[in-house]
Copies of this chain bind each other. A is one copy, B any other.
């Protein structure tokens, strides 16, 4: 059983002589309305960020510039997703340990979050993350 129920969404692109327009309806396409975003930029190629999970917060990762590799650890399996164009968005449910590797100069990642910022929602200790997953399994929550 895996809880890696992430989704990689390809956004439609409307092209005309004035350029490309990419629309996104948050509720119907991502399944949530974002309360905040954060943007990560000025990252040296090869830099690793993330390396935490969230207890409740759902996130949608939008690589608006450069190639960005997302490594998703659900406690059982590792999954890799490459964000390499701005028309893809990765929806990442809570309780996935995510590692973000920036591959290109001038990469820029925008993350939309279902919750306002709360440090207590962050799981920064991998053992604690695994323990919480195991409690979930034993209590039938998963």
Contacts and interface: CB of A to CB of B under 8 A. Distances in A.
A140 interface: no
A8 interface: no
Given A64-B110, A65-B65, A86-B108, A20 B37 contact: no
Contact of A38 (B21, B43, B48, B110): B21
A25 B39 CA distance: 12
Interface stretch (A26-34, A69-77, A127-135): A26-34
A102 B19 CA distance: 10
A49 B38 CA distance: 26
Interface of A: 15, 18-27, 33-44, 47-49, 64-65, 86, 102, 108, 110, 116-117
Contacts of A48: 18
B44 A19 contact: yes
Nearest to A43: B19
Given A18-B43, A49-B18, A64-B110, A38 B24 contact: yes
Nearest to A107: B19
Nearest to A106: B65
Contacts of A15: 42
B25 A116 contact: yes
Top 9 A-B pairs ranked by shortest CB distance?
Answer: A19-B43, A20-B42, A22-B39, A23-B38, A19-B42, A25-B36, A24-B37, A20-B41, A64-B64
